[in-house]
Amino acid sequence: MNVRSYEQIFVGGRWQDGAGGTIDVVSPHTEEIIAHAAAGSAHDVDAAVRAARAAFDDGPWPRMTHAQRIAAVENLAGVYSTHLDDMADLITAQMGSPRSFSRLGQAAGAASMMHLAAQEARKYPWAERRHGILGEVHLRRVPVGVVGIIIPWNVPQNLLMPKLIPALIAGCTVVVKPAPETPLDSLWVAEMIEEIGLPEGVVSVVPGGRDVGEALVRHPGVDKIAFTGNSATGRHIASRCGAQLKRCSLELGGKSAAIVLNDAHIGKTVAGLKIAGLMNNGQACVAQTRILVSESRHDEFVDAMAEMMAALVVGDPADPETDIGPLVSQRQQHRVQEYIRSGKTQGATLVLGGDDSPVGRGWYVRPTLFADASNDMTIAREEIFGPVLTVIKYSDERDAVRIANDSDYGLAGSVWTKDVAHGLEISGQVRTGTYGINMYMLDISSPFGGFKQSGVGREFAEEGLAEYTELQSVVSAGKLPALDGD
């Protein structure tokens, strides 16, 4: 596709020059510059927040009915849905997701998120009546205010929409900071927002690096930060927000464990883990990267996993036959290769793969499988974010649950068994926010978020809408008028 460059940033509904220079957007497949994007600065963040503050405090957007805002979001979804193939191609070009994943797992997924949020908003209890001790109580769920949205590069549209759309429906105004590796898709959404004609100041998109994100987090005009990224940055953001008593929701890292029970069908489990463990080239916070297998079935399972991974097609992410594309950047490639070296140094058995590049050009990493690992190794403790899977033995089911819970993270997990009822019992013993039985795939109609260092708050469903509201209680000694249904 012809990747479009953006010479300006989007501030308060208008395109203007950014003060942060230019971002070179580099193809991870060819290592060549494919586009440019204007970058913002702290000055631009201030302008965007001021526009959002004015739009929230004095503009029409928060004062519209929920039905009007839902209609605007559905209008945006309609425009977006006419560009799914091109959006998928853009995501693949920017960060190397295999084309099939970009189309179904990202572009189409983002469109579905908009429609599902609108459906959820129609039945959400924006207002309700209760009987209090002092009289009738009217409860309102009102918008939290100006929201700063900070998203990473790995699934940029899937991380933007669960924040942007609920915030808009609730009546918030927003400033979006996309990652410097993937600024183009968010700027294209800004074009679509301009097309549907949202009021001035409601949405801004300011690409940039850490300085732009820091300015957004620190700005006193921002009421809430919604962030997805690594846990270290999440802790930093939480501390900054805490100093200002500013709301924040944080969707952070994961080191998810897939527990393979003795009755599991090995072939079906391996086929499921091809997706659950290696989706998006392994660059997924929910990836099932620790695979727990009993001592009695360890060798059989490892052989089957190695056979599957050896057959993976590594190459051009735009090729529909590709299973594993490049990592987003050379820095990420080197980081993952260092983890592979760490696994070998610490005594895990390298069954497949290695720390050398499988192709001559592009930021590729070999699909890598470790066995005979222990849960205290670095490859079992830290989020690698690449196509690297680690198999760990357990002695019995109790030991498997113990190993699964022995992690700083608690974002996702899975259990693989012929007995679904028993799988449900296992899920209740694992401290993690989402779980799968004989699969792991994010259900965008149900709440998503983590325990422990995997974050604070939830996205999707009514819980995702609630993240962008404040609850107001109005008590009356006399009878209140009937609820207006809004």
Task: Give phi and psi for 197, each to the nearest 5.
Answer: 75, 45
Cβ atoms within 10 Å, residue 400:
24
Q: Can you tell me which residue has the tokens 């690698």?
A: 384
Out of 120, 251, 383, 467, pick the active-site residue: 251
Residues 67, 486 contacting (CB under 8 angstroms): yes
- Residue by residue, DSSP assigns 372-420 as EE-TTSHHHHS---SSEEEEEEESSHHHHHHHHHSSSEES-EEEE-S-H
Q: Can you tell me which residue has the tokens 């949020």?
A: 117
Rounded CA-CA distance 53/174 in Å is 9
Give the tokens for residue 204: 């801004």
Out of 285, 383, 397, 459, pick the active-site residue: 285
**SS3 label, residue 91:** helix
Rounded CA-CA distance 483/132 in Å is 16
DSSP 173: E
Closest CA to 334 of 313, 359, 367, 357: 357
251 carries an active-site annotation: yes
Give the tokens for residue 337: 């290769």
Rounded CA-CA distance 273/234 in Å is 28
Rounded CA-CA distance 9/17 in Å is 6
3-class secondary structure per residue, 194-234:
HHHCCCCCCEEECCCCHHHHHHHHHCCCCCEEEEECCHHHH
Residues 415, 400 contacting (CB under 8 angstroms): no
172 carries an active-site annotation: no
Give the residue ranges of DSSP H helices in 32-155.
42-58, 66-81, 84-95, 99-100, 108-123
Closest CA to 323 of 101, 93, 1: 101
- Residues marked active site are found at 251, 285
